[in-house]
């Protein structure tokens, strides 16, 4: 089975970036929610102004951008602040993701990958995915990688991991699992198999036809309105 919209997620230090790198090498369309999250809070943006109203100017860097580490420290220990931040940023992120999905759709990509770190935690977006992919690794490997990558002690690393839904829980909901516990080449082979099955899909043709028709109809409407106002 194959899909049009693919939700990709993992856990901290599970190796999702490794999988995304392989997918990009293969020419896949990948929409990175983290990148978009940074874009929508740039200075002078709507979200940037709202965040300053609620969190104050002490979370700003000298160049006016938001200090992600300072903001992260606040929301990590205060769930109500995390919910507030999400209510500000999520609508803006979703709007930009939709724009990019439509762009890739019209360009004719067979499927679009939505790289969303907290896909399974929020659950709201999973209903829009035909399938979901989890990048998994076993708990000891996850802990070891996080400590090595971030220079954290055991207690700090465990606290970061426990703030997310356990990978073993997420894999119950995922339709595809890429096990990144072993060697990189093993992970690469799994990604190649997944990509091959997705490329065989004809499901995307119907979706492209529907979107193409909608875009064409909208374009025709705009053309008629322009003619009306200039005539």
Predicted pLDDT at 201: 62
Q: Which long-range contacts (CB under 8 A, 24 or more apart) does 87-95 make?
A: 88/47, 88/50, 88/51, 88/54, 89/37, 89/40, 89/41, 89/47, 89/51, 92/40, 92/45, 92/46, 92/47, 93/33, 93/36, 93/37, 93/40
**What are the sequence ranges of the domains in the chain?**
1-29+111-200, 39-108, 204-230
Whether domain 1-29+111-200 has CATH 3.30.70.20: the reply is no
The structure's pTM equals: 0.79
Predicted pLDDT at 25: 96
Q: How do residues 149-185 score in pLDDT, each as one tens digit?
A: 989 899 999 988 998 899 999 999 999 999 999 999 9
Average pLDDT over residues 174-197: 95
Is residue 118 over pLDDT 70? Answer: yes
Q: How do residues 8-57 score in pLDDT, each as one tens digit?
A: 999 999 999 999 999 999 999 999 999 999 999 999 999 999 999 999 99
């Amino acid at each position: 089975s194959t899909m049009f919209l693919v939700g990709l997620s993992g856990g901290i230090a599970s190796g999702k970036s490794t999988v995304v790198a392989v997918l990009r090498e293969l020419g896949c369309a990948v929409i990175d929610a983290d990148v978009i999250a940074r874009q929508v809070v740039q200075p002078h943006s709507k979200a940037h102004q709202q965040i300053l109203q609620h969190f104050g100017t002490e979370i700003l860097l000298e160049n006016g951008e938001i200090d992600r580490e300072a903001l992260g420290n606040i929301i990590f220990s205060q769930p109500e602040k995390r919910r507030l931040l999400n209510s500000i940023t999520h609508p803006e992120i979703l709007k930009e993701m939709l724009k990019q999905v439509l762009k890739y759709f019209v360009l004719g990509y067979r499927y679009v990958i939505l790289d969303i770190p907290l896909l399974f935690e929020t659950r709201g977006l999973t209903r829009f995915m035909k399938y979901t992919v989890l990048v998994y690794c076993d708990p000891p490997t996850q802990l070891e990688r996080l400590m090595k990558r971030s220079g954290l002690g055991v207690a700090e690393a465990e606290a970061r991991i426990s703030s997310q839904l356990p990978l073993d829980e997420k894999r119950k909901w995922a339709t595809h699992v890429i096990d990144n516990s072993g060697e990189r080449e093993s992970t690469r082979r799994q990604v190649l198999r997944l990509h091959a099955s997705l490329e065989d899909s004809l499901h995307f043709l119907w979706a492209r036809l529907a979107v193409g028709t909608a875009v064409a109809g909208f374009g025709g409407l705009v053309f008629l309105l322009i003619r009306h106002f200039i005539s």
